Structure 1
Amino acid sequence: MTDTAAGTPDSTASMQHGTVRVERFGAIAHVVLDRPDSLNSITPDMFYDLLEAGQQLSADTSVNAVVMRGEGRAFCAGLDMGEFKRIVEGTMAGSPLDIPGDAEALAQQAVEIWSQVAVPVIAAIHGPALGGGFQFALGADIRISTADAKLSAMELAWGIIPDMMGTQLLPRLIGPSKAKRLIFTADTISGEQGLAWGLVDELAEDPVATAHALAEQIADKSRSALVWAKKLVDMADSATMREGLVAEQQALRELRGTEEQKLAVQKRMEQLAARKAAKGQS
Protein backbone atom coordinates (compact mmCIF):
# COMPACT_ATOMS: atom_id res chain seq x y z
CA MET A 1 0.00 0.00 0.00
CA THR A 2 1.37 3.31 1.16
CA ASP A 3 4.28 4.66 3.18
CA THR A 4 2.20 7.37 4.84
CA ALA A 5 1.63 7.96 8.52
CA ALA A 6 -1.55 5.88 8.17
CA GLY A 7 0.52 2.74 8.74
CA THR A 8 -0.52 -0.72 7.58
CA PRO A 9 -4.13 -1.29 6.55
CA ASP A 10 -6.31 -4.00 8.03
CA SER A 11 -6.03 -6.75 5.42
CA THR A 12 -9.19 -8.47 6.65
CA ALA A 13 -11.33 -5.39 5.92
CA SER A 14 -9.53 -4.01 2.83
CA MET A 15 -10.82 -4.78 -0.65
CA GLN A 16 -9.88 -4.32 -4.32
CA HIS A 17 -12.56 -3.07 -6.71
CA GLY A 18 -10.72 -3.37 -10.02
CA THR A 19 -9.18 0.08 -10.56
CA VAL A 20 -10.05 1.23 -7.02
CA ARG A 21 -8.74 -0.09 -3.72
CA VAL A 22 -10.45 0.36 -0.35
CA GLU A 23 -8.11 0.16 2.64
CA ARG A 24 -9.30 0.09 6.22
CA PHE A 25 -7.56 1.54 9.26
CA GLY A 26 -10.03 0.88 12.04
CA ALA A 27 -12.92 3.33 11.60
CA ILE A 28 -11.14 5.10 8.70
CA ALA A 29 -11.34 3.97 5.07
CA HIS A 30 -8.99 5.01 2.28
CA VAL A 31 -10.43 4.97 -1.24
CA VAL A 32 -7.40 4.67 -3.53
CA LEU A 33 -7.50 5.35 -7.28
CA ASP A 34 -5.21 2.54 -8.39
CA ARG A 35 -3.90 2.99 -11.95
CA PRO A 36 -0.53 4.54 -11.07
CA ASP A 37 1.14 3.68 -14.40
CA SER A 38 -1.31 6.00 -16.17
CA LEU A 39 -1.48 8.67 -13.43
CA ASN A 40 -4.78 7.10 -12.32
CA SER A 41 -6.45 8.19 -15.54
CA ILE A 42 -10.12 7.32 -15.86
CA THR A 43 -11.56 4.41 -17.81
CA PRO A 44 -15.26 3.46 -17.80
CA ASP A 45 -14.36 0.69 -15.35
CA MET A 46 -13.16 3.26 -12.82
CA PHE A 47 -16.61 4.86 -12.71
CA TYR A 48 -18.15 1.50 -11.88
CA ASP A 49 -15.40 0.70 -9.36
CA LEU A 50 -15.73 4.04 -7.55
CA LEU A 51 -19.50 3.69 -7.40
CA GLU A 52 -19.17 0.16 -6.03
CA ALA A 53 -16.66 1.29 -3.40
CA GLY A 54 -18.89 4.19 -2.39
CA GLN A 55 -21.91 1.93 -2.10
CA GLN A 56 -19.90 -0.48 0.06
CA LEU A 57 -18.87 2.33 2.41
CA SER A 58 -22.40 3.78 2.49
CA ALA A 59 -23.63 0.48 3.90
CA ASP A 60 -20.77 0.08 6.42
CA THR A 61 -21.72 1.62 9.77
CA SER A 62 -18.26 0.87 11.19
CA VAL A 63 -16.72 3.62 9.00
CA ASN A 64 -16.57 7.11 10.57
CA ALA A 65 -14.39 8.93 7.99
CA VAL A 66 -13.07 8.40 4.45
CA VAL A 67 -9.88 9.58 2.72
CA MET A 68 -9.81 9.58 -1.10
CA ARG A 69 -6.36 9.55 -2.69
CA GLY A 70 -4.45 8.55 -5.81
CA GLU A 71 -1.72 5.91 -5.91
CA GLY A 72 1.67 6.97 -7.27
CA ARG A 73 2.49 10.38 -8.76
CA ALA A 74 -1.01 11.80 -9.23
CA PHE A 75 -4.44 12.12 -7.75
CA CYS A 76 -6.10 11.57 -11.14
CA ALA A 77 -5.04 12.88 -14.55
CA GLY A 78 -8.55 12.80 -16.02
CA LEU A 79 -9.99 10.67 -18.80
CA ASP A 80 -7.59 8.11 -20.25
CA MET A 81 -6.17 9.29 -23.57
CA GLY A 82 -7.31 6.04 -25.14
CA GLU A 83 -10.89 7.15 -24.53
CA PHE A 84 -10.27 10.44 -26.37
CA LYS A 85 -8.79 8.46 -29.26
CA ARG A 86 -12.01 6.46 -29.42
CA ILE A 87 -13.96 9.73 -29.59
CA VAL A 88 -11.83 10.97 -32.53
CA GLU A 89 -12.22 7.63 -34.31
CA GLY A 90 -15.96 7.65 -33.70
CA THR A 91 -15.94 4.33 -31.89
CA MET A 92 -17.64 5.78 -28.80
CA ALA A 93 -20.76 6.75 -30.74
CA GLY A 94 -23.81 4.95 -29.40
CA SER A 95 -21.98 3.84 -26.24
CA PRO A 96 -23.70 5.72 -23.41
CA LEU A 97 -22.21 5.63 -19.94
CA ASP A 98 -25.61 5.43 -18.24
CA ILE A 99 -26.55 2.67 -15.83
CA PRO A 100 -29.58 0.86 -17.33
CA GLY A 101 -32.77 2.03 -15.66
CA ASP A 102 -31.16 5.08 -14.02
CA ALA A 103 -31.67 8.62 -15.28
CA GLU A 104 -28.30 9.99 -14.20
CA ALA A 105 -25.01 9.33 -15.98
CA LEU A 106 -22.64 6.84 -14.41
CA ALA A 107 -19.83 9.43 -14.30
CA GLN A 108 -22.04 11.78 -12.29
CA GLN A 109 -22.97 8.97 -9.91
CA ALA A 110 -19.29 8.22 -9.29
CA VAL A 111 -19.01 11.74 -7.87
CA GLU A 112 -22.42 12.02 -6.22
CA ILE A 113 -21.92 8.82 -4.23
CA TRP A 114 -19.48 10.64 -1.91
CA SER A 115 -22.23 13.01 -0.79
CA GLN A 116 -24.37 9.93 -0.14
CA VAL A 117 -21.69 8.34 2.03
CA ALA A 118 -23.04 9.40 5.40
CA VAL A 119 -19.70 10.29 7.01
CA PRO A 120 -17.09 12.95 6.08
CA VAL A 121 -14.97 12.36 2.97
CA ILE A 122 -11.54 14.05 2.62
CA ALA A 123 -9.71 14.26 -0.73
CA ALA A 124 -5.90 14.18 -0.48
CA ILE A 125 -4.62 15.78 -3.70
CA HIS A 126 -1.13 15.67 -5.19
CA GLY A 127 0.15 15.96 -8.74
CA PRO A 128 -2.45 16.32 -11.49
CA ALA A 129 -6.16 16.45 -10.59
CA LEU A 130 -7.53 17.19 -14.03
CA GLY A 131 -10.93 17.02 -15.70
CA GLY A 132 -12.81 14.09 -14.26
CA GLY A 133 -10.17 13.68 -11.57
CA PHE A 134 -10.72 17.29 -10.52
CA GLN A 135 -14.44 16.56 -10.28
CA PHE A 136 -13.81 13.46 -8.15
CA ALA A 137 -12.14 15.81 -5.65
CA LEU A 138 -15.11 18.21 -5.81
CA GLY A 139 -17.31 15.38 -4.55
CA ALA A 140 -15.45 15.26 -1.24
CA ASP A 141 -16.43 17.28 1.83
CA ILE A 142 -12.88 18.58 2.45
CA ARG A 143 -9.86 18.94 0.13
CA ILE A 144 -6.20 18.91 1.26
CA SER A 145 -3.60 19.51 -1.45
CA THR A 146 0.07 20.02 -2.09
CA ALA A 147 0.95 23.59 -3.06
CA ASP A 148 2.15 22.46 -6.50
CA ALA A 149 -0.80 20.20 -7.37
CA LYS A 150 -2.30 20.84 -10.82
CA LEU A 151 -6.05 21.50 -10.73
CA SER A 152 -8.14 21.97 -13.86
CA ALA A 153 -11.71 21.77 -15.09
CA MET A 154 -10.30 21.28 -18.56
CA GLU A 155 -13.25 19.78 -20.43
CA LEU A 156 -13.88 22.77 -22.73
CA ALA A 157 -10.41 22.25 -24.21
CA TRP A 158 -11.76 18.89 -25.44
CA GLY A 159 -15.03 20.26 -26.74
CA ILE A 160 -17.22 19.12 -23.84
CA ILE A 161 -18.28 20.48 -20.43
CA PRO A 162 -17.53 19.30 -16.86
CA ASP A 163 -20.31 16.71 -16.84
CA MET A 164 -19.50 14.95 -13.54
CA MET A 165 -21.38 17.47 -11.36
CA GLY A 166 -18.59 20.00 -11.94
CA THR A 167 -20.86 22.76 -13.26
CA GLN A 168 -22.96 22.45 -10.08
CA LEU A 169 -20.35 21.77 -7.38
CA LEU A 170 -17.68 24.24 -8.46
CA PRO A 171 -19.86 27.40 -8.19
CA ARG A 172 -21.01 26.28 -4.74
CA LEU A 173 -17.39 26.18 -3.61
CA ILE A 174 -15.84 29.26 -5.19
CA GLY A 175 -18.74 31.32 -6.54
CA PRO A 176 -20.08 31.57 -10.09
CA SER A 177 -17.58 34.06 -11.55
CA LYS A 178 -14.46 32.12 -10.56
CA ALA A 179 -16.13 28.85 -11.56
CA LYS A 180 -16.96 30.31 -14.98
CA ARG A 181 -13.39 31.53 -15.41
CA LEU A 182 -11.94 28.09 -14.64
CA ILE A 183 -14.45 26.29 -16.85
CA PHE A 184 -14.42 28.78 -19.78
CA THR A 185 -10.62 28.99 -19.99
CA ALA A 186 -9.82 25.36 -19.09
CA ASP A 187 -6.85 26.83 -17.20
CA THR A 188 -4.76 24.78 -14.79
CA ILE A 189 -4.16 26.33 -11.37
CA SER A 190 -1.90 25.26 -8.51
CA GLY A 191 -2.99 23.96 -5.15
CA GLU A 192 -1.74 27.24 -3.71
CA GLN A 193 -4.07 29.24 -5.95
CA GLY A 194 -6.82 26.76 -5.19
CA LEU A 195 -6.41 27.58 -1.50
CA ALA A 196 -6.67 31.31 -2.21
CA TRP A 197 -9.87 30.75 -4.18
CA GLY A 198 -11.47 28.48 -1.56
CA LEU A 199 -11.26 25.42 -3.77
CA VAL A 200 -8.75 23.75 -1.43
CA ASP A 201 -9.15 23.85 2.36
CA GLU A 202 -5.53 23.24 3.40
CA LEU A 203 -2.03 22.83 1.91
CA ALA A 204 0.31 20.09 3.07
CA GLU A 205 3.59 18.57 1.92
CA ASP A 206 2.08 15.13 2.55
CA PRO A 207 -1.66 15.54 1.97
CA VAL A 208 -2.39 11.85 2.61
CA ALA A 209 -0.79 11.91 6.06
CA THR A 210 -2.53 15.22 6.85
CA ALA A 211 -5.87 13.92 5.59
CA HIS A 212 -5.47 10.73 7.62
CA ALA A 213 -4.66 12.70 10.77
CA LEU A 214 -7.78 14.81 10.21
CA ALA A 215 -9.80 11.64 9.60
CA GLU A 216 -8.54 10.27 12.93
CA GLN A 217 -9.72 13.43 14.69
CA ILE A 218 -13.12 13.17 12.99
CA ALA A 219 -13.51 9.42 13.47
CA ASP A 220 -13.12 9.85 17.23
CA LYS A 221 -16.49 11.63 17.35
CA SER A 222 -19.97 10.14 17.71
CA ARG A 223 -20.86 8.56 14.36
CA SER A 224 -24.55 9.45 14.63
CA ALA A 225 -23.66 13.10 15.29
CA LEU A 226 -21.23 13.10 12.36
CA VAL A 227 -23.91 11.73 10.04
CA TRP A 228 -26.40 14.37 11.11
CA ALA A 229 -23.82 17.18 10.93
CA LYS A 230 -22.89 16.31 7.32
CA LYS A 231 -26.55 16.00 6.34
CA LEU A 232 -27.48 19.35 7.90
CA VAL A 233 -24.61 21.31 6.36
CA ASP A 234 -25.34 19.79 2.94
CA MET A 235 -28.98 20.89 3.31
CA ALA A 236 -27.85 24.52 3.46
CA ASP A 237 -27.28 24.54 -0.33
CA SER A 238 -30.94 23.91 -1.15
CA ALA A 239 -33.15 23.99 1.94
CA THR A 240 -34.82 27.08 3.33
CA MET A 241 -33.70 28.41 6.69
CA ARG A 242 -36.91 27.11 8.28
CA GLU A 243 -36.35 23.62 6.84
CA GLY A 244 -32.79 23.63 8.16
CA LEU A 245 -33.88 24.72 11.65
CA VAL A 246 -36.59 22.06 11.77
CA ALA A 247 -34.03 19.44 10.74
CA GLU A 248 -31.65 20.64 13.48
CA GLN A 249 -34.37 20.07 16.08
CA GLN A 250 -35.09 16.62 14.65
CA ALA A 251 -31.38 15.80 14.93
CA LEU A 252 -31.29 16.90 18.56
CA ARG A 253 -34.33 14.78 19.40
CA GLU A 254 -32.69 11.72 17.85
CA LEU A 255 -29.22 12.28 19.36
CA ARG A 256 -29.89 13.61 22.84
CA GLY A 257 -29.84 11.10 25.69
CA THR A 258 -28.77 8.10 23.62
CA GLU A 259 -26.07 5.73 24.84
CA GLU A 260 -23.82 7.05 22.07
CA GLN A 261 -24.24 10.63 23.29
CA LYS A 262 -23.65 9.59 26.90
CA LEU A 263 -20.37 7.95 25.86
CA ALA A 264 -19.38 11.10 23.94
CA VAL A 265 -20.07 13.29 26.99
CA GLN A 266 -18.10 10.94 29.25
CA LYS A 267 -15.15 10.92 26.85
CA ARG A 268 -15.17 14.71 26.58
CA MET A 269 -15.27 15.18 30.35
CA GLU A 270 -12.34 12.79 30.76
CA GLN A 271 -10.38 14.73 28.13
CA LEU A 272 -11.06 18.05 29.88
CA ALA A 273 -10.07 16.59 33.26
CA ALA A 274 -6.81 15.27 31.78
CA ARG A 275 -6.02 18.69 30.26
CA LYS A 276 -6.70 20.41 33.56
CA ALA A 277 -4.45 17.98 35.41
CA ALA A 278 -1.68 18.39 32.85
CA LYS A 279 -1.95 22.18 33.06
CA GLY A 280 -1.73 22.04 36.85
CA GLN A 281 1.50 20.04 36.61
CA SER A 282 3.16 22.44 34.17
Structure 2
Amino acid sequence: MADPSPPRIVVAGSANMDLVGLAQRLPRPGETVLGDDFVMTPGGKGANQAIAAARAGGACTMLGAIGSDAFGVTIKARLNASGVDTEHLRTSYGASGVAVIMVDRAGENAILVSPGANSTFAGLSAAESAVIAEGDVLLCQQEIPSDTVVAAVRAARSAGTRVILNAAPARELPPELRECVDLLVVNEGEAVAITGTPEPDLAALLALVPRVVLTLGAHGSRYADRDGRDERIPAFAVDAVDSTAAGDAFTGALAVAWGEGRDLVAAVRWANAAGAVCARTVGASGSLPARADIDALYARYA
Protein backbone atom coordinates (compact mmCIF):
# COMPACT_ATOMS: atom_id res chain seq x y z
CA MET A 1 0.00 0.00 0.00
CA ALA A 2 1.30 3.47 -0.88
CA ASP A 3 2.42 5.76 1.91
CA PRO A 4 -0.23 8.30 2.94
CA SER A 5 0.20 11.83 1.70
CA PRO A 6 2.08 14.12 4.10
CA PRO A 7 -0.07 16.58 6.06
CA ARG A 8 -0.46 19.99 4.45
CA ILE A 9 0.92 22.60 6.83
CA VAL A 10 0.49 26.31 6.09
CA VAL A 11 2.59 28.77 8.07
CA ALA A 12 1.58 32.44 8.12
CA GLY A 13 4.39 34.24 9.87
CA SER A 14 7.68 36.08 9.98
CA ALA A 15 10.97 35.55 8.17
CA ASN A 16 14.21 37.12 9.44
CA MET A 17 17.94 36.95 9.07
CA ASP A 18 19.37 35.82 12.41
CA LEU A 19 22.68 37.31 13.54
CA VAL A 20 23.84 34.98 16.31
CA GLY A 21 26.72 35.71 18.68
CA LEU A 22 28.01 33.14 21.17
CA ALA A 23 29.73 34.01 24.44
CA GLN A 24 30.55 32.44 27.78
CA ARG A 25 27.69 34.44 29.31
CA LEU A 26 25.07 37.02 28.28
CA PRO A 27 26.01 40.67 28.88
CA ARG A 28 24.27 42.65 31.57
CA PRO A 29 22.71 46.04 30.65
CA GLY A 30 25.48 48.45 29.65
CA GLU A 31 28.13 45.73 29.56
CA THR A 32 30.23 44.51 26.63
CA VAL A 33 31.18 40.82 26.58
CA LEU A 34 33.78 39.35 24.24
CA GLY A 35 32.13 36.69 22.10
CA ASP A 36 33.44 33.28 21.07
CA ASP A 37 31.78 32.85 17.67
CA PHE A 38 29.31 34.38 15.21
CA VAL A 39 26.78 32.75 12.88
CA MET A 40 24.46 34.41 10.33
CA THR A 41 21.51 32.26 9.31
CA PRO A 42 17.90 32.66 8.11
CA GLY A 43 15.32 32.53 10.89
CA GLY A 44 12.19 34.19 12.23
CA LYS A 45 9.53 32.19 14.01
CA GLY A 46 7.42 31.75 10.88
CA ALA A 47 10.27 30.63 8.63
CA ASN A 48 11.76 28.46 11.38
CA GLN A 49 8.46 26.69 11.99
CA ALA A 50 7.89 26.25 8.26
CA ILE A 51 11.32 24.64 7.84
CA ALA A 52 10.75 22.56 10.98
CA ALA A 53 7.44 21.29 9.62
CA ALA A 54 8.94 20.47 6.21
CA ARG A 55 11.91 18.63 7.73
CA ALA A 56 9.58 16.77 10.07
CA GLY A 57 7.69 15.38 7.10
CA GLY A 58 4.98 17.94 6.31
CA ALA A 59 4.12 19.44 2.94
CA CYS A 60 4.61 23.03 4.05
CA THR A 61 3.72 26.36 2.43
CA MET A 62 5.02 29.66 3.80
CA LEU A 63 2.97 32.87 3.74
CA GLY A 64 4.76 36.06 4.74
CA ALA A 65 7.03 38.84 3.46
CA ILE A 66 10.75 39.19 2.87
CA GLY A 67 12.69 42.31 1.86
CA SER A 68 14.23 43.13 -1.51
CA ASP A 69 17.71 43.04 0.04
CA ALA A 70 20.35 40.30 0.02
CA PHE A 71 18.97 38.91 3.28
CA GLY A 72 15.63 38.31 1.56
CA VAL A 73 17.31 36.36 -1.23
CA THR A 74 19.12 34.17 1.31
CA ILE A 75 15.98 33.60 3.41
CA LYS A 76 13.97 32.46 0.40
CA ALA A 77 16.79 30.19 -0.79
CA ARG A 78 16.97 28.50 2.63
CA LEU A 79 13.21 27.95 2.67
CA ASN A 80 13.29 26.44 -0.83
CA ALA A 81 16.29 24.23 0.00
CA SER A 82 14.41 22.93 3.05
CA GLY A 83 11.43 21.89 0.96
CA VAL A 84 9.12 24.78 1.86
CA ASP A 85 6.79 26.06 -0.89
CA THR A 86 7.49 29.80 -1.28
CA GLU A 87 5.28 30.48 -4.30
CA HIS A 88 3.10 32.85 -2.27
CA LEU A 89 5.89 34.46 -0.20
CA ARG A 90 5.75 38.23 -0.78
CA THR A 91 8.75 40.46 -1.53
CA SER A 92 8.51 43.96 -0.08
CA TYR A 93 10.80 46.79 -1.20
CA GLY A 94 13.27 47.53 1.58
CA ALA A 95 14.90 45.63 4.42
CA SER A 96 14.10 42.11 5.53
CA GLY A 97 13.43 41.36 9.17
CA VAL A 98 16.54 40.92 11.33
CA ALA A 99 17.02 39.23 14.70
CA VAL A 100 20.09 39.90 16.84
CA ILE A 101 20.60 36.89 19.10
CA MET A 102 23.04 36.37 21.96
CA VAL A 103 23.62 32.83 23.24
CA ASP A 104 25.65 31.76 26.27
CA ARG A 105 27.46 28.46 26.73
CA ALA A 106 24.57 27.06 28.78
CA GLY A 107 22.29 27.47 25.76
CA GLU A 108 20.31 30.42 27.15
CA ASN A 109 19.62 33.32 24.81
CA ALA A 110 18.46 36.93 24.52
CA ILE A 111 16.89 38.18 21.28
CA LEU A 112 16.14 41.59 19.72
CA VAL A 113 13.97 41.55 16.57
CA SER A 114 13.62 44.33 13.96
CA PRO A 115 10.51 43.41 11.90
CA GLY A 116 11.47 44.97 8.56
CA ALA A 117 9.39 43.49 5.73
CA ASN A 118 7.36 41.43 8.20
CA SER A 119 5.44 44.57 9.16
CA THR A 120 4.26 44.91 5.53
CA PHE A 121 2.52 41.53 5.52
CA ALA A 122 -0.93 43.12 5.77
CA GLY A 123 -4.18 41.44 4.87
CA LEU A 124 -4.56 38.30 2.76
CA SER A 125 -5.01 37.93 -0.98
CA ALA A 126 -7.56 35.54 -2.44
CA ALA A 127 -4.71 33.21 -3.41
CA GLU A 128 -3.29 33.22 0.13
CA SER A 129 -6.72 32.50 1.61
CA ALA A 130 -7.11 29.60 -0.83
CA VAL A 131 -3.79 28.13 0.29
CA ILE A 132 -5.00 28.21 3.90
CA ALA A 133 -8.31 26.62 2.93
CA GLU A 134 -6.46 23.73 1.28
CA GLY A 135 -4.30 23.04 4.34
CA ASP A 136 -4.75 20.50 7.11
CA VAL A 137 -3.20 22.76 9.76
CA LEU A 138 -2.56 26.53 9.82
CA LEU A 139 0.32 27.54 12.07
CA CYS A 140 0.60 31.19 13.16
CA GLN A 141 2.75 33.23 15.54
CA GLN A 142 2.65 36.88 16.57
CA GLU A 143 5.66 38.42 14.80
CA ILE A 144 3.46 39.76 11.97
CA PRO A 145 0.64 42.36 12.18
CA SER A 146 -2.17 41.15 14.43
CA ASP A 147 -4.83 41.95 11.81
CA THR A 148 -3.11 39.55 9.40
CA VAL A 149 -3.06 36.80 12.03
CA VAL A 150 -6.78 37.32 12.58
CA ALA A 151 -7.48 37.25 8.84
CA ALA A 152 -5.49 34.00 8.49
CA VAL A 153 -7.21 32.18 11.35
CA ARG A 154 -10.64 33.32 10.13
CA ALA A 155 -9.85 31.95 6.66
CA ALA A 156 -8.84 28.67 8.28
CA ARG A 157 -11.93 28.48 10.48
CA SER A 158 -14.29 29.09 7.55
CA ALA A 159 -12.57 26.30 5.56
CA GLY A 160 -12.33 23.76 8.39
CA THR A 161 -8.52 23.99 8.60
CA ARG A 162 -7.24 23.42 12.15
CA VAL A 163 -5.39 26.35 13.74
CA ILE A 164 -2.33 26.27 15.98
CA LEU A 165 -1.30 29.62 17.45
CA ASN A 166 2.15 29.93 18.97
CA ALA A 167 1.47 33.14 20.88
CA ALA A 168 5.00 34.53 20.71
CA PRO A 169 5.86 37.23 21.36
CA ALA A 170 3.11 37.37 23.95
CA ARG A 171 0.41 39.98 23.61
CA GLU A 172 -3.30 40.20 24.28
CA LEU A 173 -5.39 37.67 22.36
CA PRO A 174 -8.48 39.53 21.06
CA PRO A 175 -11.81 37.64 20.98
CA GLU A 176 -11.81 37.43 17.17
CA LEU A 177 -8.48 35.58 17.37
CA ARG A 178 -9.29 33.33 20.33
CA GLU A 179 -12.51 32.06 18.82
CA CYS A 180 -10.64 30.64 15.81
CA VAL A 181 -7.75 28.95 17.66
CA ASP A 182 -7.93 25.17 18.09
CA LEU A 183 -4.62 24.75 19.94
CA LEU A 184 -2.54 27.38 21.77
CA VAL A 185 1.19 26.79 22.27
CA VAL A 186 2.93 29.00 24.86
CA ASN A 187 5.88 28.90 27.23
CA GLU A 188 5.57 29.89 30.88
CA GLY A 189 6.40 33.56 30.35
CA GLU A 190 3.91 33.87 27.50
CA ALA A 191 1.21 32.13 29.54
CA VAL A 192 1.66 34.62 32.38
CA ALA A 193 1.67 37.59 30.00
CA ILE A 194 -1.54 36.48 28.29
CA THR A 195 -3.55 35.74 31.44
CA GLY A 196 -2.05 38.33 33.80
CA THR A 197 -1.74 35.70 36.52
CA PRO A 198 1.40 35.46 38.71
CA GLU A 199 2.05 31.88 37.56
CA PRO A 200 1.03 29.95 34.42
CA ASP A 201 -2.67 29.17 34.85
CA LEU A 202 -4.01 26.50 32.51
CA ALA A 203 -7.58 27.08 33.65
CA ALA A 204 -7.30 30.74 32.65
CA LEU A 205 -5.85 29.76 29.27
CA LEU A 206 -8.59 27.18 28.70
CA ALA A 207 -11.15 29.91 29.30
CA LEU A 208 -9.75 31.49 26.12
CA VAL A 209 -9.07 28.48 23.86
CA PRO A 210 -10.12 24.80 23.86
CA ARG A 211 -6.64 23.20 23.96
CA VAL A 212 -3.29 24.34 25.38
CA VAL A 213 0.29 23.11 25.22
CA LEU A 214 2.54 24.72 27.84
CA THR A 215 6.22 24.23 27.03
CA LEU A 216 8.49 23.91 30.05
CA GLY A 217 11.99 23.86 28.57
CA ALA A 218 14.14 21.17 30.15
CA HIS A 219 11.09 19.96 32.09
CA GLY A 220 9.17 18.97 28.95
CA SER A 221 5.61 20.06 28.21
CA ARG A 222 2.09 19.98 29.58
CA TYR A 223 -1.08 19.40 27.57
CA ALA A 224 -4.58 20.31 28.76
CA ASP A 225 -7.99 20.68 27.15
CA ARG A 226 -11.58 21.53 28.05
CA ASP A 227 -12.50 17.84 28.19
CA GLY A 228 -10.54 17.59 31.44
CA ARG A 229 -7.35 16.06 30.09
CA ASP A 230 -4.21 17.38 31.79
CA GLU A 231 -0.94 15.54 31.22
CA ARG A 232 2.72 16.33 31.73
CA ILE A 233 5.03 15.01 29.02
CA PRO A 234 8.69 14.71 30.09
CA ALA A 235 11.59 16.14 28.14
CA PHE A 236 14.25 14.10 26.34
CA ALA A 237 17.68 14.30 27.97
CA VAL A 238 20.32 15.78 25.62
CA ASP A 239 23.41 17.96 25.92
CA ALA A 240 21.89 21.31 24.94
CA VAL A 241 24.14 23.95 23.38
CA ASP A 242 21.59 26.41 21.94
CA SER A 243 17.88 26.64 22.72
CA THR A 244 17.25 29.43 20.17
CA ALA A 245 15.07 27.45 17.73
CA ALA A 246 14.07 24.54 19.97
CA GLY A 247 10.60 25.97 20.49
CA ASP A 248 10.13 26.41 16.75
CA ALA A 249 11.29 22.84 16.11
CA PHE A 250 8.76 21.69 18.71
CA THR A 251 5.87 23.66 17.22
CA GLY A 252 6.59 22.72 13.60
CA ALA A 253 6.83 19.04 14.51
CA LEU A 254 3.66 19.30 16.59
CA ALA A 255 1.75 20.65 13.58
CA VAL A 256 2.95 17.73 11.47
CA ALA A 257 2.13 15.11 14.09
CA TRP A 258 -1.37 16.53 14.63
CA GLY A 259 -1.85 16.79 10.87
CA GLU A 260 -0.98 13.11 10.63
CA GLY A 261 -3.85 12.33 12.98
CA ARG A 262 -1.87 11.47 16.12
CA ASP A 263 -3.43 11.86 19.54
CA LEU A 264 -2.33 15.24 20.85
CA VAL A 265 -0.44 13.88 23.85
CA ALA A 266 1.47 11.53 21.55
CA ALA A 267 2.03 14.46 19.16
CA VAL A 268 3.45 16.58 21.99
CA ARG A 269 5.77 13.75 23.05
CA TRP A 270 7.15 13.47 19.51
CA ALA A 271 7.46 17.26 19.30
CA ASN A 272 9.46 17.20 22.55
CA ALA A 273 11.96 14.97 20.76
CA ALA A 274 12.19 17.48 17.90
CA GLY A 275 12.94 20.32 20.31
CA ALA A 276 15.59 18.26 22.08
CA VAL A 277 17.36 17.32 18.83
CA CYS A 278 17.36 20.98 17.78
CA ALA A 279 18.94 22.14 21.05
CA ARG A 280 22.01 19.99 20.37
CA THR A 281 23.13 22.32 17.53
CA VAL A 282 23.98 26.04 17.39
CA GLY A 283 21.83 28.26 15.18
CA ALA A 284 18.22 28.69 14.15
CA SER A 285 17.05 27.24 10.83
CA GLY A 286 20.24 25.23 10.39
CA SER A 287 19.61 23.30 13.60
CA LEU A 288 16.02 22.28 12.84
CA PRO A 289 15.96 18.48 12.76
CA ALA A 290 15.09 16.01 10.02
CA ARG A 291 12.34 13.49 10.67
CA ALA A 292 14.82 10.61 10.86
CA ASP A 293 16.71 12.34 13.69
CA ILE A 294 13.49 13.05 15.58
CA ASP A 295 12.41 9.44 15.21
CA ALA A 296 15.83 8.17 16.33
CA LEU A 297 15.76 10.12 19.60
CA TYR A 298 12.09 9.30 20.14
CA ALA A 299 12.71 5.57 19.62
CA ARG A 300 15.68 5.53 21.98
CA TYR A 301 13.50 6.65 24.90
CA ALA A 302 10.28 4.96 23.83
Shorter-chain TM-score: which interval?
0.3 to 0.5
TM, length-normalised to structure 1: 0.36
More helix by percentage: 1
- Could you say which structure has the larger radius of gyration? 1
Bigger RCO of structures 1 and 2 (CA < 8 A, at least 6 apart):
2
